[in-house]
Amino acid sequence: MAHALVAEKHPLDDLIRRDRMPHIWCPGCGIGIVMRCYAQAILESGIPVERHVVVSGIGCTARVPGYMNLDSYHATHGRPVPFAIGLKLAKPELMVTVFSGDGDLAAIGGNHLIHAARRNVDIKIICINNFNYGMTGGQVGPTTPLGAKTTTTPYGNPEHPFNLPYLMAAAGAVFVSRWTALHVRQIKEDILYSFRKPGFTFVEVLAPCPVGFGRPNDIEDGVEEMRIYRRRSRLVYRVPDEMPWEALEVDLREERPIYVGRFVDREREVFQPVRLRS
Amino acid sequence: MRVYARQPVNLTQIRIPRGQVFLIPDRCKGCQMCVEFCPQQVLRMSHEMNARGYHYPEIAPGKENACVHCEFCMMVCPEFAIFTIEVDSA
């Protein structure tokens, strides 16, 4: 029996707040994986850390700015997007990233999200989709798949979920992609790509939530949910050439493929408010 | 007659890297992502516990030199608790 060598410091410790580790997320949660991808992307972006800003709302995912060692803002529930828009318009040299969950961005901040996409404001959205409201105890959210069990829908969810890539593409985002928490290299590459892409970009990451979503739906733990992602992920480019947009809907209970990839990559004019001439 | 197909031309120049696994046991929460997704099955769960009562990974018997420094354990660890450093394969 051999031990791994014990270390004191992680290579990315300069970008995270060491004194606040270990973080509050449950064992098997995928948010930490995406946070590491974001930290790595910041490191490789070539943009100094002083110019990076991360904004979040309320929720499990919204704890990320609290653990990042850069300028970070914890806005009220659902309002990270307006906060980020204000930040970007006041200081255009900043690289503003919104790092929040599906309940925060798509439910309570849903209108802000689609209107920011419509205006094509130059902010970068990383949305972690774990299919429920994790922090408050696993309630049904707007992305919970049809029929999935949560604490507030014990007989199965009767509502159809949001199809976030479809919504964002329809609203006018210039870059839309979706990955699962297992696609670590692709998440990092897409965050890096969105840093270089002017306009409203949206990266959705499907992350395991073993306690809130997995347990009522007979998914044993985080590793089991990652195995499901590995088995069912199908890489596609450029919908709708190859498949209808409706197929992007995620259903974790049925054996249907989960389509991942870069769905939209296009150019649109970036939002630039009219400057008053003196 | 020798068949040259299906053999990379730079086969003799390719050097498989070797890595050394480093662990911060007190950050580990025992989610087993690194154990499950290591392509060389270098890791397994130990019987020992850290200060918070979680089992953390250790190097499986006979796999001391099996790490190829792909860094996937570092990428997939949600806790910033494991990483590898490349060592000289000589």
Give residue-wise pLDDT tens across range A23-36: 889 998 999 999 99
CB A71 within 8 A of CB A51: no
DSSP A209: -
pLDDT of residue A10: 84
For A4, the closest of B21, B26, B54 (CB atoms) is B21
Q: Which residues of B touch A30 (CB under 8 A)?
A: 78
- The verdict on residue B12 lying in a domain is no
Give residue-wise pLDDT tens across range A217-261: 888 888 888 888 888 888 887 765 556 677 777 777 777 888 888
- The verdict on residue B2 lying in a domain is no
Domains of chain A with bracketed CATH: 25-265 (3.40.50.970)
> What was the ipTM of the complex prediction?
0.84
Q: Which residues of B touch A128 (CB under 8 A)?
A: none
Number of domains within chain B: 1
- The verdict on residue B64 lying in a domain is yes
- The verdict on residue B72 lying in a domain is yes
Picking from A5, A8, A9, A10 by the largest number of B CB atoms within 10 A of its own CB, the best residue to mutate is A10
- The verdict on residue B4 lying in a domain is no
- Domain of residue B65 covers 18-87
Interface membership of A90 toward B (CB under 8 Å): no
Q: Which residues contact A98 (CB under 8 A, 6 or more apart)?
A: A54, A55, A56, A80, A81, A84, A105, A123, A124, A125, A126
CB A241 within 8 A of CB A263: no
Q: Any idea what the CATH number is for the domain that residue B59 is in? A: 3.30.70.20
Residue A204 confidence class, pLDDT cut points 50, 70, 90 = very high
- The verdict on residue B76 lying in a domain is yes
- The verdict on residue B55 lying in a domain is yes
Residue A276 has pLDDT above 90, yes or no: no
Q: Which residues of A touch B31 (CB under 8 A)?
A: 27-29, 221-223
- The verdict on residue B8 lying in a domain is no
pLDDT of residue A1: 47
- Check CB contact under 8 Å for B33 and A28: yes
Give residue-wise pLDDT tens across range B28-76: 998 889 999 999 888 989 898 888 899 999 898 888 888 888 889 999 9
Residue A79 confidence class, pLDDT cut points 50, 70, 90 = very high
Bigger pLDDT: A5 vs A98: A98
Interface membership of A228 toward B (CB under 8 Å): no
